[in-house]
Amino acid sequence: MNQKDLKRYKKILEDSKIALLESAKKTLVEESSFDTDDLPDEIDQASSEYAQSMVFRLRDREKFLLQKIEKALQRIEDGSFGICERCEEDISPKRLEARPVTTLCIRCKEEQEKKERSYG
């Protein structure tokens, strides 16, 4: 992969990282200013707790994605970005455009998903 492409993917990943961190900060501010004791009844409180639970689940997913972004940025630095970790072939540019954090080429990912379905 050439330097121009690596810089482009690095920018995509860094922009995604910044967007995730800004979203997390915004949610933190919103959640910290909300007090469930201010809710008038148990139904409102249950609804609020459910919404908070959903926010926490989304945050967990974003945390996981943030870790993947960090690993992808590290792969750019060490020269292994865009190489399938299973078969060591190049990952197609289309796949990297769609999912720049990927570590598997489409063929290896499909094989992995087939195995997961057969066990699941």
Structure tokens at 17: 């990282």
d(CA 120, CA 102): 22
The pLDDT-based confidence of 46 (bands split at 50, 70, 90) is: confident
Which pTM does this prediction carry?
0.78
Cβ-based neighbours of 83, under 8 Å, separated by 6 or more: 89, 90, 91
pLDDT exceeds cutoff 70 at 32 = no
Pairwise CA distance, residues 56 & 40, whole Å: 23
- Rounded to an integer, the average pLDDT of 13-34 is 78
Tens of pLDDT, residues 62-110? 999 999 999 999 999 999 999 999 999 999 999 999 999 999 999 999 9
Instruction: Classify residue 100 by burial, with Cβ atoms within 10 Å: 0-12, 13-18, 19+.
Output: buried
Question: May I ask the CATH architecture of the domain 1-81?
Answer: Up-down Bundle (1.20)
Domain range summary for the chain, segments of one domain joined by +: 1-81, 83-120
DSSP one-letter string for the chain:
--HHHHHHHHHHHHHHHHHHHHHHHHHHHHHHT--GGG-SSHHHHHHHHHHHHHHHHHHHHHHHHHHHHHHHHHHHHHT-TTB-TTT-PBPPHHHHHH-TT--S-HHHHHHHHHHHHHH-
